[in-house]
Amino acid sequence: MRLHWGTAIAMVYTAFAIGTVGFVVFAAQYPVELVRDDYYAGALRHDERRTAIENAAALPAPVVTAGENGRSVVVALPDEQAADADGTVTFYRPSHAAADRVVALVPDASGRQELSLDGLENGRWVVQVEWTSGGRSYYQELPVMLR
């Protein structure tokens, strides 16, 4: 039995259409989340972020470190920045944007602030510290794995 060429073309077109519709239905079942709500605006600020990272890298010691107990993060600003620093600490969850938390950076007189990680769900987090001092911006991050 031979197929007419018109029938073969119709079968290929129908198979393609069914495959396309099947993929659309499959893809529509999964939530579409950008990593951040302001993803595109954040991309436009990329050069500013790069400068802030370079400023933080030029400091004599890392600003963000893991606490001794493993369940906290310590932010230790240099002495000359302790008095006028203004910024935020973001607990960023790459796999779930709704779980992100933002805390104000409020260092004590010595420029130190300890933040507890209790209450955060297990998994990978990135602690992002962004601050300004003396008219310059700084940014440093620390990946943390909670178990």
Beta-carbon neighbour count of residue 136 at 10 Å? 13
How high is the pLDDT of residue 41? Answer: 80
Structure tokens at 38: 């302001």
Q: Whole-angstrom distance between the N-terminal and C-terminal Cα of the chain?
A: 64
In CATH, what number does 39-146 get? 2.60.40.10
Asked whether the beta carbons of 63 and 129 are under 8 A apart, the reply is: yes
Write out pLDDT tens, residues 32-71.
765 667 777 877 888 899 999 999 999 999 999 998 877 8
pTM, full prediction: 0.73
83, 75, 57, 56: which is closest to 114 by C-alpha? Answer: 75
Beta-carbon neighbour count of residue 87 at 10 Å? 19
